[in-house]
């Protein structure tokens, strides 16, 4: 490695901590549950969830974040841009507006530039998953960062219930809908998943996942402070936790949010930078 491990962990876990914590409480407010919706069951509730999701092709925002690991806190600011189902671009600036990390994520690759020590990395998700002892993919990252449900996983066999004033959908066998799966190959992820839904607007307030083959790792996200963006609701406040070998917590606040505006995704490795493995 050519870069500080703690610094890279803080940056990496922003977008991976898109998935995140063990029994973490989002403290949802008690709400009036509407009996007819409760009686409709899981399929109806899942359909309302999908209808209420953020509908976008392009997403951009600025953010401030605080990362906590073993009681040590690190703060940083940045920008995020997403081309739906294709590309996630992140720029990190710990202070004074000077960029120190740039990350670009696609369906099958992870790339970053570390300006602190003039290094770069180009590879796949195996690097990140080994580093975090987890198993994430593009769809999980994108969904957790936008407060939406997973797009490329089947509906599973969800069960509906009530939990502290929110609706709750649970499933124990949600699988990826990838070409490799349809060809009969073993899926990479089979998820145990829980989703908590606001009964008034059907937005996700909390979601967690863990992979059946890694029961000791759980990932969770919580969403709050919903704001209307282009006649749609988006959570300006998010918290992400991962429970594995180390418990990690990230709190993110978004600002200057826009959807479906022109975007660029610049990513050029400066001359003289060293590749890290």
- Alpha carbon 114 to chain centroid, angstroms: 22
pLDDT tens sequence across 60-80? 999 999 988 777 888 889 999
What does the angle CA 12 – CA 129 – CA 144 come to, to the nearest 5 degrees?
A: 60
SS3 47: helix
Is the predicted pLDDT of residue 185 greater than 60, yes or no? no
End-to-end CA distance of the chain: 7
| Residue of 157 and 113 predicted with greater confidence | 113
Residue 236 has pLDDT above 80, yes or no: yes
Between the CA atoms of 68, 235, 172 and 138, what dihedral angle is there, to the nearest 10 degrees? Answer: -80
Q: pLDDT higher for 101 or 212?
A: 101
Which range scores top for mean pLDDT: 37-46, 73-82, 188-197?
Answer: 73-82
How far apart, in whole angstroms, are the C-alpha atoms of residue 101 and residue 111?
Answer: 11
Is residue 192 over pLDDT 70?
yes
Full set of structural domains in the chain with CATH: 5-264 (2.50.20.10)
Q: How confident is residue 30, by pLDDT bands cut at 50, 70 and 90?
A: very low
Q: Name, of 17-31, 133-147, 167-181, 262-276, the range with top average pLDDT.
A: 262-276
As a whole-number percent, the residues of the chain with pLDDT over 90 amount to: 49
Per-chain mean pLDDT for the chain: 81
Tally the residues of the chain.
277
Give the C-alpha distances (Å, rounded to integers) separating 273 from 7, 116, 117, 125, 223: 18, 11, 8, 22, 38
Q: For residues 84 and 259, is the Cβ–Cβ distance under 8 A? A: no
């Amino acid at each position: 490695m050519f870069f500080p491990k703690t610094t890279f962990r803080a940056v990496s876990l922003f977008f991976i901590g898109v998935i995140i914590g063990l029994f973490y409480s989002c403290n949802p407010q008690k709400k009036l549950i509407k009996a007819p919706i409760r009686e409709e069951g899981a399929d109806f509730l899942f359909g309302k969830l999908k209808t209420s999701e953020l509908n976008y092709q392009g997403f951009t925002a600025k953010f401030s974040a605080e990362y906590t690991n073993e009681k040590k806190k690190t703060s940083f600011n940045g920008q995020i841009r997403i081309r739906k189902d294709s590309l996630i671009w992140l720029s990190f600036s710990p202070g004074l507006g000077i960029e120190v990390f740039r990350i670009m994520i696609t369906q099958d690759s992870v790339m970053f530039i570390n300006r602190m020590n003039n290094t770069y990395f180009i590879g796949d998700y195996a690097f990140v998953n080994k580093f975090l002892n987890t198993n994430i993919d593009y769809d999980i990252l994108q969904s957790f960062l936008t407060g939406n449900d997973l797009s490329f996983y089947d509906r599973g066999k969800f069960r509906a219930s009530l939990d502290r004033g929110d609706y709750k959908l649970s499933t124990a066998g949600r699988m990826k809908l990838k070409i490799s799966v349809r060809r009969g190959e073993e899926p990479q992820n089979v998820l145990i998943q829980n989703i908590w839904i606001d009964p008034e607007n059907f937005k996700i307030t909390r979601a967690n996942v863990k992979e059946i083959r890694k029961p000791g790792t759980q990932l969770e996200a919580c969403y709050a402070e919903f704001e209307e963006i282009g006649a749609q609701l988006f959570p300006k406040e998010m918290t992400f936790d991962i429970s594995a070998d180390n418990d990690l917590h990230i709190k993110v606040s978004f600002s200057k949010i826009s959807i479906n505006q022109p975007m660029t995704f610049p990513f050029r490795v400066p001359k003289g930078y060293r590749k890290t493995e």
